[in-house]
A = this chain, B = another copy of it.
Amino acid sequence: MAETNTGRSFVRSFFTTPTAVEGDDTAKMLRKAAQLDGIEAPDVWVPDNEDATAPSMRDEGVQNIIDVVSEYGADFPGQIHPRVVWHRDDPAARHQGFEHMMQLADPDAGAIEHIDGFVIPEVGDLDDWKKADEFLTIVENEYGLEEGSIAMSPIIESGRAEIATSHLGHEKGKDSNNLERLFLLVDGQVDYTKDMNAMTPTGAQPDWKELRHNTSRAASANDLISIDGPFDNIRDVEGYRQRMLDNYAMGMLGIWSLTPGQVVEANTNPLPSEVGSYFVDVDGESVELERTGDGIFEYDGEDVSLDVVDDGLYQLTLGRDEFDLGEDELHEKLLDETEYVMSMDDYVDSMEEFEAAKEAGKGAISLKRTATLVLGGTEVSVTRDRMWDEATYQAAKTPISLFQEVYEARPDQRADLEELYGADLVERAMQIG
């Protein structure tokens, strides 16, 4: 697993906070966020001196970041990456961004020792990325910091920046820049939608699946970490979870969070669940069975039934479809129509088993997992069987590698993880791989 220059291979949550809000204490929200801890604290916290903060408040915002980060930064469990102003089409915005970074990085101000990098919005092509990189090099030089030590995370929110991600490999590593400082590639779909001139009848955001794929791909190709953009409908927790599931299947394991509630979701969803779950397909919808015991999953609604018609003859009903099946056919059918979502325990078991087999000189083994399904009162045993070789093992390792890094990098979340999985399983999970 390649590490970025900030020492992380995974970032689950990217949480933005306005740097200055109207009122007596303009740093109120910042101070509150700085004290988040445990599962509510993000992997990357972004004091947001751009869109979340009114333009007239942004100079004050910089001072607030300095005040709050120098006071609370040492104890903050995640990384801190303020977002400054920037725009590919606006030299004044870029100049202001430069000045703000210079102020924030001043060692005398006391914040820079807790700041890991900066988030740069609205970048254009790579020449534009290099301008931000150059400003950071000048900042580093001014204060005697090591070149490239301040991370930089551009927001991909223009067609130009999306295309730039495909060309990054040609520029990173050149003597004339310090693009090795790159850390996150963050999608910004609201501005991207504007830049692309896209529109939908309801004003809902387009899917932008290609953008997410291309961002994830560029992260993979350049040892960076990809982060999906904000999910505006804060109350729609199910929608946020579904979005993350879709992202995980693209290799985009991190997502923007707008509230501590979203941070909790973003922190927990990529980790394997504590128990496995079984789903059955009913008329195209995936219905979860109830786990009523260890390896026992039950359905007792009206849409699924299983009856023994005769010795070794079954009648299976799945929604509008009815099947008369022999024993083997029934097993085959259930394999096709059900899905099993693995638990942390399953991951660890399978990996341990494969590692033992490899030790014993085997290249591939068959891994079996048996469950008892109870459908409309009738019990049936289903055995899923999968060939594991080195490549399967490597691909299955991703959630475990993520777990291991979280456990190492976030001591504040260890108690939560041990409560969730049990200390034994946590210990086994930390030893594999």
- Chain A residues engaging chain B, CB cutoff 8 angstroms: 10, 51, 53-56, 125, 158-160, 162-163, 166, 169, 190-191, 193-204, 206-207, 209-210, 213-214, 216-221, 232, 245, 248-251, 253, 270, 339-342, 361-363, 386-387, 389-392, 394-399
Contacts and interface: CB of A to CB of B under 8 A. Distances in A.
Q: How many copies does the complex hold?
A: 3
Contacts of A197: 10, 220, 251, 253, 398
A209 B160 CA distance: 19
Nearest to A399: B199
B248 A191 contact: no
Contact of A200 (B191, B202, B249): B249
A399 B202 CA distance: 12
Contact of A250 (B196, B217, B232): B196
15 contacts: A51-B389, A51-B390, A53-B363, A158-B220, A160-B220, A162-B221, A163-B218, A196-B217, A196-B250, A197-B251, A197-B253, A198-B248, A199-B398, A199-B399, A209-B210
Contact of A395 (B166, B190, B362, B396): B190
Contact of A194 (B207, B361, B398): B398
A43 to B, nearest CB: 15
Given A54-B361, A199-B398, A210-B210, 14 more contacts: A51-B389, A162-B221, A163-B221, A166-B166, A194-B391, A194-B394, A194-B398, A196-B217, A196-B251, A198-B250, A199-B253, A200-B248, A201-B341, A203-B386
> Which 8 residue pairs are nearest across A and B when measured between Cβ atoms?
A196-B251, A159-B220, A198-B251, A159-B221, A54-B363, A206-B249, A201-B341, A159-B217
